[in-house]
Every structure is written in structure tokens, then in C-alpha cells.
Amino acid sequence: MAWPIAEVARMSGVTARTLRHYDEIGLLPPAWIGSNSHRYYEERQLLQLQQILVLRALGVGLAEIARIIGDQVDELESLRSHHRRLVVERDRLDALATTVSRTIADLERSRKDGTPMTSINRPENLFEGIQPADVDASLRDFPEHAEATRRATAAMTPAEIEAGQRERTARMVRLAELMAAGHPADAEPVQHMIDEEYQLLSGLRTVAVADYLAIARSCTDNEQWSAAYEAIAAGLAGYQRAAMEAYAAARLS
């Protein structure tokens, strides 16, 4: 008992184009191919198609589905990791929605009052503030770490160093957005970012709590650093310091 492609399409609710696509990527080849090169599917293929559709409805990617079908991985295990991804993505959207609604409220307020909004990233300041050199220059305040850092950066390609710099800048901008959105320094999304930073930092060098707090102080006290932060948004240096101190108090023994 074999069915042509259009029949299968009608039965399963997907288009024939999709079935051809699944054949093309090797996810679901037909049972056999007629002399006129028409695709014919049998029960086994339909069963697999149903499994594919269920997993797809659960948001699992086709590549992942292919691995599950091929029995190379455990369905339960893969569903569990997929669930984790779903929850993370949901939380991200949730935080995003919160930020957006706060932005909307701010905009409405500033339209009514004429109050200007917190301005992020005046670029002329950005230009003055974030010179690549100042990251290195700031190391002078931590001579005992300079050596470790130098060794770490020496092992990196220029491209990696570039990328690191970009990421630091982007991170500061994101932090400024959170600040502008009205999150207090100890709010969850902020602390989540600070945690990421801490993980990166502790990957680079061993960092004691006292050292970490010293770095936090430098955000406002070190001229180069605070200039870089303030160039992005007024008050950002103090905000970063407060966030780091809250992080140390809450999560570092």
C-alpha cells in the first residue's frame, strides 16, 4: 500500500513541497521511487512523518529531529535539552517585553512632559571614551594581574582580541540599555549580565572576592574606566559598580 505525494500531503497537512524538501535533506526519503521518478510513501514513512511533525510542533529543529529519528540520540534527553532552550528563549522574550513596555512608558511620559529621556551613547563621547588603548592602560592599576592577562592575550589571535573588544563595548551598551529601561542595579536581568561578565573574567584569571570588589571600585575611581562608561551614558560607571557590588554580596561567598 503506497501513497503518492499529494495524498500524503493531504493526509498529514503539510505541502508536497515540504515533503520534497524533507527528501532533499535526507530527513524523510520516500519508500520507493517510480520509474517516472515519482515519490511513493508507505506506512513506515507516514509513521516517521507523524513523529517528525510532532517534534516540529514542539519546535525542535529538523537537524535535531534527523538525529532523533536516526536513533543516534535519546529522544528523552534531546527533549530535555530542547525544553531548556525553550525556557531560556521564553525568559529572554519576557525580559524583552518588559523592557519594551518600560520604553513605551518612558516615551509617553517624555512626550507629555517634554522631559528628555536618558540618552544612551552620545557618539562623540563614545568616540572620545572607548579607545582600544585604554583597556590596556587600565591594567596599570593591577600590576599583579597584568602578567596573567598579558599571557592570556598573547595566546589570542588579533581577530580574537578585536572580537573581545567589540564584545566588551556591546556589553556596556546593553548594560546602559538596562539602566535606561529603569532596572535597579540588583535586578535579575542586570545581575544575569554581571554573572556572565564574572564567568568570563574568572576564565581569564583567578579572581578573589577582594580583587573583584577592587575592580568594581575602579569603575568609578579609575579615570580611564569611568570616562569610558560615562561616555556611553551618564551614571553608567556608578551603575556598573553598584551592580558588581550587589553581585559580590549576593553570590560570592
Check residue 104 for interaction with a second copy (CB under 8 A).
Answer: yes
Q: What is the phi/psi pair of residue 125, to 5°?
A: -75, -40
The answer to whether 44 and 85 have CB atoms below 8 angstroms apart is: no
Cα angle 53, 59, 63 (rounded to 5 degrees) comes to: 75
Tell the smallest beta-carbon distance from residue 184 to a second copy (Å).
19
Q: What is the phi/psi pair of residue 102, to 5°?
A: -65, -40
What angle do helix axes 236-251 and 188-204 make, rounded to 10 degrees?
80
Check residue 46 for interaction with a second copy (CB under 8 A).
Answer: yes
- Measured from the CB atom, the residue of 176 and 246 that comes closer to a second copy is 176
Mind giving me the DSSP string for 189-227?
HHHHHHHHHHHHHHHHS---HHHHHHHHHHHHHSHHHHH
The strand pairing partners of 32, in sequence order, are 40
Tell the smallest beta-carbon distance from residue 143 to a second copy (Å).
26
Q: How many whole angstroms separate alpha carbon 164 and alpha carbon 76?
A: 37
Question: Which of a second copy, DNA, none interacts with 17 (beta carbon under 5 to 8 A by kind)?
Answer: DNA
Tell the smallest beta-carbon distance from residue 25 to a second copy (Å).
21
Instruction: By CB under 7 A, name the binding residues for DNA.
Output: 4-7, 14-18, 20-21, 35-39, 56, 61-63
Check residue 12 for interaction with a second copy (CB under 8 A).
Answer: yes
Annotate each residue in 13-32 with x if it binds a second copy (CB under 8 A) or - if it does not, as one string.
xxx-----------------
Site residues (vs a second copy, CB under 8 A): 1, 3, 7, 9-15, 43, 46-47, 49-50, 53-54, 57-59, 75-76, 79-80, 82-83, 86-87, 89-90, 93-94, 96-97, 99-101, 103-104, 107-108, 111, 120-124, 126-127, 130, 132, 165-167, 169-174, 177
